[in-house]
Amino acid sequence: MASRDGDRVVALSRQLAQAHQELRRRLGEIRTGLGHRRLSDEVLLTHCLAFCAALTSHHQGEDNGMFSLLLRERPDLAPTVALLVEDHGLITSILSRVGEFADRAAASRGPALEAIGRELDGLAAIMESHFRYEERTISEALDGGMSDTDWRDRVFGFGGA
C-alpha cells in the first residue's frame, strides 16, 4: 500500500529506502565529526545518542509492526524476516556498546571517543549490508498492498528522534 507524500503516492518500499538513507546520512555526519573533531565532544555525543535512539526506534517499529503484518500476508518471507531480526539483535548490541562508550566519553573524553568511532565504523558496514538485503528482499511485498497502520511513524520517522 502506498501513502501520500504531498500530491504524489509514495510506495512503502521507497519510504523504507528513504528512511535507510536518512539513517546512513546521520551516521556519516557523526563519523565525520568524530574523525575531524569539528564539533565539541558534547555535541558529538548528543548527536550519537540521538542517532542510536533513531535506529533503535526504526528497528523496533519493523520488528513489532511492519514485520508482523508482512508475515501475516507473506508467510513465505519468514526465513528472510528471521535473518533481519537477527541483524537487529546484532545492531542492538553494537548500539549498547556505543552507549556505554558515550557514558565514559562524557566523563573522560579522548579514548572513549576513539572507541565510539571504531564501533560506528563496524556499525556502518553492518547497517549497509542489512539495509541493502532488507530493501532487496521485502520491497515487493511492502508494495503489494500491505496495510500501513501504526508502525509507519517508527519505521519511517524514527519516533521523532
What's the CATH code of the domain at 62? 1.20.120.520
pLDDT tens digits, one per residue of 102-143 = 888 877 756 778 888 899 999 999 999 999 999 999 988 888
Q: What is the pLDDT of residue 11?
A: 84
Q: How far apart are CA 39 and CA 63, in angstroms?
A: 34
Average pLDDT over residues 18-34: 93
Are 99 and 53 spatial neighbours (Cβ–Cβ below 8 Å)? no
State how many domains the chain has: 1
**Dihedral sign, CA of 134, 139, 140, 145?**
positive
Closest CA to 156 of 46, 38, 5, 17: 17
Which residue range is the domain that position 94 belongs to? 2-160
Q: Element (H or E) spanning 9, and its range?
A: strand 8-11
Q: What is the pLDDT of residue 158?
A: 66
